[in-house]
Amino acid sequence: GKTEPLKALPAMFDAKGLCVEQYFCTSKDGTKIPYFIMRREDMAFDGNNPTLVDAYGGFEISMLPGYAGGVGVAWLEKGGVKVIANIRGGGEYGPEWHKSALKANRYKCYEDMEAVAQDLIDRNITNSAKLACIGGSNGGLMVGNLITRPISSKLFTTAVCQVPLLDMKVYSKLLAGASWMAEYGNPDEPDEWKFLRRHSPYHLLRHDNLGLPEEEGDENECQIKNPDWKCPQVLFTTSTRDDRVHPGHARKMVRALIEEAQPMDKADTVLYWENVEGGHGGAADNKQRAHMWALTYTFLAQYLGLNCGDDKN
């Protein structure tokens, strides 16, 4: 039958001319990975569009495109492309999709993101210089891996890492971390630390990429495993009062990047913002939330070259 609108809130942004599409790409092990693109209908497929890839990849949480005022005003209206990547670890295809990236298989999440990034480039939607990733909490762990892995750190030249887990050696001893060991593994078990070490961004940064000794007295054994690695332009955001992921994760990662990576010419742009309120969401009220996202999208627009020079700023 015929439908008619009864009531609606005022539009938060001009959605006219925007569209949503779904694509699939193939991950390293042959698995088909779905992702959604939100873009302007008249976008040119010239490989030059500022593109932001958002994902989570954990705890059986599904991600879908939706109506969000901040994304619309700060990104889509101005011609930016927003991608939602449905990588493994989430719940998009049920429990098995989640289980396929648990513990020792966590790396599959990051291979999926690399596949999505390469597919966006192959479809002439964007290029590495215009490509960014963003994620918070478990998604922050994902971003931490993407900026330290050899392949993804070249595909994504800009990143936003929000309230992240980054040191997987100590995560289970900080705040709510012990409750996540079924997802990630127990770093105090030697066999499980072996695979946790492979996707602990703090260790990948300092030891694999910078060649710093992992233990005291190992100076003669340390070597740089990824000599061509360089950190993407990155913004870290966290909260002093986060009661789930300790802000120490972000603090120590930023310290290592600024004090150890930058003197080696391995990290050009490292920015950090810590709100003193807000809990795990990073903001205590709408004003703080607006400030946090304004910082985030300003950073992305500046480094991806999104044209914000219109009267909608």
Catalytic residue numbers, as ranges: 137, 280
Cβ–Cβ < 8 Å for 124, 47: yes
Could you give the residue ranges of the DSSP H alpha helices within 123-247? 138-146, 152-155, 181-184, 190-198, 201-203
Sign of CA dihedral 308, 129, 81, 42: positive
Q: Single out the residue of 156, 95, 107, 160 nearest to residue 131, CA to CA.
A: 156
Structure tokens at 227: 């000599």
Q: Which residues pair with 272 in a beta bridge?
A: 236
Phi, psi (deg, nearest 5) at residue 267: -155, 110
Q: Are strands 81-85 and 32-40 parallel, antiparallel or unpaired?
A: antiparallel
Cβ–Cβ < 8 Å for 65, 21: no
Cβ–Cβ < 8 Å for 89, 130: no
Q: Which residue's entry shows tokens 């260790």? A: 203
Question: Quick one: CA torsion of 177, 182, 183, 189, rounded to 10 degrees?
Answer: 80
Cβ–Cβ < 8 Å for 241, 276: yes
Query: 3-class DSSP state for residue 207?
Result: helix
Q: Which residue's entry shows tokens 């030059």? A: 48
Q: Single out the residue of 310, 226, 220, 238 nearest to residue 281, CA to CA.
A: 238
| Amino acid making up residue 19 | C
Cβ–Cβ < 8 Å for 82, 131: no
Q: Which residue's entry shows tokens 């990975």? A: 33
